[in-house]
Amino acid sequence: MKTLIIYFSQTGGTKKIAEAIRTGIKSVGAECDLIKIKNVDPSGLRKYDLIGFGTPTFFYREPLNVQRFINNLPEMQNMHAFIFATHGSCLGNTFYYLSEELKEKGFVVIGAFDSYSDSSLQFYPKPMHTYGHPDEIELKEAEEFGKKICRISEKIRQGNLNLIPNFKLIEDTWWAKDSKLLTPKTLRMISPKFQINMEKCTQCMLCQTECPGDAVDISTNPPEIQKEGCIFCWFCEKVCPTGAIEADWSIIRANTKSNLRKYIKLLEEAEKQGKFRPYVDYRKIR
């Protein structure tokens, strides 16, 4: 079996899960290529039997660059796909939306895997409540998932169609309601406006090369940032080594305390169900 894993990862959590799934896939004798979403040539995808799509969760679903990538794929004619995601406290409707978009392109989504991952946003205290994830247990689970997904693909090809999962849209939670309000338009409105301080900028280009939405152009005068395509991940500000990208975080920071309380509540529930293992005493983060 020839498989491919396509992933988007900014801080490395999704990449670790992608690599563990690949280890599992290879251990059952299948081939597995691994490629960053930015480097994928969509015209070369039909040579695979099974394609995995991995993403972080942004704003309770898959990020805008992943949505755009899938929307631009050609029709895939019953190609088997699996999906995986990393997240802080809340996976949200990531699997529902990802699977719906892939199905529209002709994929058959045959399985999903998710993991907690350290989510270090600029305006939250450190270490984050999800510090230490994905941990050894999650990486092992990802490896097992890789083994299992190849067998599932074979069984579905043999006619076991009841193995195809169905992902439901969750609508009755506070985060699902929040998520509905977070459209590209409103994200632009609530996101801090970034500015490049040219006295501090060393033209290292990191903000431009790391931008998942190709929304930075520092060749113009003045340089452009948060252009059309911006996915509001705020990574450019984070990676700038000289602090040349300046932002006013006060509005977002004002909500941090109440948001953190809600996220920790979700983690406490997950901990009770044995789904989350805290490596920091997150009750003290407040």
Question: Binding ligand FMN by CB under 6 A: which of 24, 30, 48, 57?
Answer: 57
What is the pattern of x (binds ligand FMN, CB under 6 A) and - over residues 79-118?
A: -------xxxxx-x------------------------x-
Instruction: List the x/- string, 239-268, binding to ligand FMN by CB under 6 A.
Output: ------------------------------
Tell the smallest beta-carbon distance from residue 104 to ligand FMN (Å): 23
Q: What is the DSSP letter of 164?
A: S
Q: Which is nearer to ligand FMN, 9 or 153 (CB)?
A: 9
Do residues 83 and 167 touch, judged by C-beta distance below 8 A? no
Number of residues this chain uses to bind ligand FMN (CB under 6 A): 22
Tell me the window of 32-40, 50-58, 139-147, 244-252 that interacts with ligand FMN (CB under 6 A).
50-58
Q: What is the CA radius of gyration of the chain?
A: 20
Compute the C-alpha angle 208/115/265, nearest 5°: 100
Instruction: Report which of 106, 37, 26 is spatially closest to residue 65, judged by C-alpha positions.
Output: 37
Least distance to ligand FMN, CB of residue 78, Å: 29
List, in order, residues 6 or more apart from 4 with CB less than 8 Å away. 32, 33, 34, 35, 45, 48, 50, 51, 52
Q: Is residue 204 classed exposed, middle or buried when 0-12, 13-18 and 19+ CB atoms within 10 A define those classes?
A: middle
Does 121 contact ligand FMN by CB under 6 A? yes
Binding residue for ligand FMN, selected from 5, 6, 9, 146, defined by CB under 6 A: 9
Residue 167 DSSP SS3? coil
Q: Give the residues lining the site for ligand FMN (CB under 6 A).
A: 9-15, 56-60, 86-90, 92, 117, 119, 121, 233
